[in-house]
Amino acid sequence: MANIWVFVEETNGSPSTLGLELLTKARDLGDVTSIYLGAGDDEAFAALGDHGATRVFHVDSGERLPSAPVAAALAEKAAEESPDLILFGQAYTDRDVAGRLAARLGVGVLSNATDVRITEDGVETDHEIFGGAQVATAAMSAAPHIVLVRPKSFAAAPSGGGPPAITPLVLPDTGGSEARVTASHVEEREGPQLGDATIVVSGGRGLGSADAYELIEKVAKPLGAATGATRAIVDAGWVPYAKQVGQTGKTVKPNIYIAAGISGAMQHLVGMKDAGTIIAINKDPDAPIFGVADLGIIGDVHKILPQLIEALENR
């Protein structure tokens, strides 16, 4: 059986959903060890076992920014037992640890994978390219194969596995200067989390101005929807980065996705094209967003959204 490690970060005291998705996939590929980053408690470890981990390498970096010390600890452990595959999510801390670990081990990283297979020669991964129009299948020569998997590529499901064996990993001194986390700020937000929402309403450059983003919020409110945005308007400073949907932002898979004033750049499509139903409003009849929309409306968001808001509020 292949020896597979899965990186799982703690979020609000529990294993992240992304981590559980990766464990669920990994248990079909081999023997699963979860690297667990966080304070950790019996309940968290039980959840890892219930999703397929038979062992847990527990790391708690405290105030130290995890990337350098965790990568150093994992590199030592990898030298001991040569895992075949190490799965990470395409997420902030995952990328930090995976990048440093790969450089330390002198192996590559395959990023943005949407599927992973064990083959006779090693590991094969699928990657959506050009906004999801094509799938590139990649292979890597040297083990351990380090793969970053996009969120929501697999559905997390319990396996009924019992409690895993816990091995705490000591974080070594990395020698150089280290980054420290001195404070954490949680931004106030209204409504549901973008990543988990069943309805998402997003706006793009077609809104015309930062002020017009209010229209997106007003559509979202009566629907109980989360609000999203394109990279263009995040870069323009209209809305915070946390709202960005797409390649460099969040991947969403809501039942309903409403795209207002969004042309449908590849960068955006890859983050939302798997939504159940897509409704798009755009002035340009040739906008690529219409290629994936179940209902495409050629029109002005400044006319249609106020009408939609009124209709929703009057229900």
Q: Taking CB under 8 A as the criterion, which residues in 209-268 touch other proteins?
A: 223, 231, 234-235, 237, 241-242, 247-248, 255-256, 258, 265, 267
Q: Which stretch binds other proteins (CB under 8 A): 32-40, 103-111, 159-167, 206-214?
A: 103-111
Residue 273 DSSP label: T
Burial (CB count <10 Å: 0-12, 13-18, 19+), residue 81: exposed
Nearest distance in Å: CB 166, other proteins: 26
Please identify which residue in 46, 118, 166, 312 interacts with other proteins, judged by CB under 8 A.
312
Nearest distance in Å: CB 217, other proteins: 17
**Chain residues 22-81 in contact with other proteins, contact rule CB under 8 A:** 65, 67-68, 71
Please identify which residue in 24, 111, 153, 230 interacts with other proteins, judged by CB under 8 A.
111
Residue 288 DSSP label: G
Q: Is 95 in the site for other proteins (CB under 8 A)?
A: yes
Q: Which stretch binds other proteins (CB under 8 A): 41-49, 78-86, 132-140, 158-166?
A: 132-140
**Which of residues 50 and 278 has its CB atom nearest to other proteins in the complex?**
278
Burial (CB count <10 Å: 0-12, 13-18, 19+), residue 123: buried
* CB neighbourhood size of 54 (10 A): 16
* CB neighbourhood size of 67 (10 A): 22
Q: Is 100 in the site for other proteins (CB under 8 A)?
A: yes
**Bridge partners of 228?**
202
Q: What are phi and psi of 69, to 5 degrees?
A: -65, -35
**Which of residues 170 and 183 has its CB atom nearest to other proteins in the complex?**
183
Q: Which stretch binds other proteins (CB under 8 A): 29-37, 43-51, 76-84, 106-114?
A: 106-114
**Which of residues 92 and 155 has its CB atom nearest to other proteins in the complex?**
92
- Reported as half-sphere exposure (CB side, CA atoms, 13 A), residue 176 has a value of 5
Q: Is 157 in the site for other proteins (CB under 8 A)?
A: no
Structure tokens at 314: 């009057």
Nearest distance in Å: CB 162, other proteins: 30
Q: With left for phi above 0 and alpha for psi between -120 and 50, is residue 247 left, alpha or beta?
A: alpha
* CB neighbourhood size of 2 (10 A): 16
Nearest distance in Å: CB 277, other proteins: 6
Torsion of CA 290, 291, 294, 297, to 10 degrees: 10
Nearest distance in Å: CB 163, other proteins: 28
Q: Is 205 in the site for other proteins (CB under 8 A)?
A: no
What is the distance in angstroms between the CA of the first residue and the CA of the last residue of the chain?
57
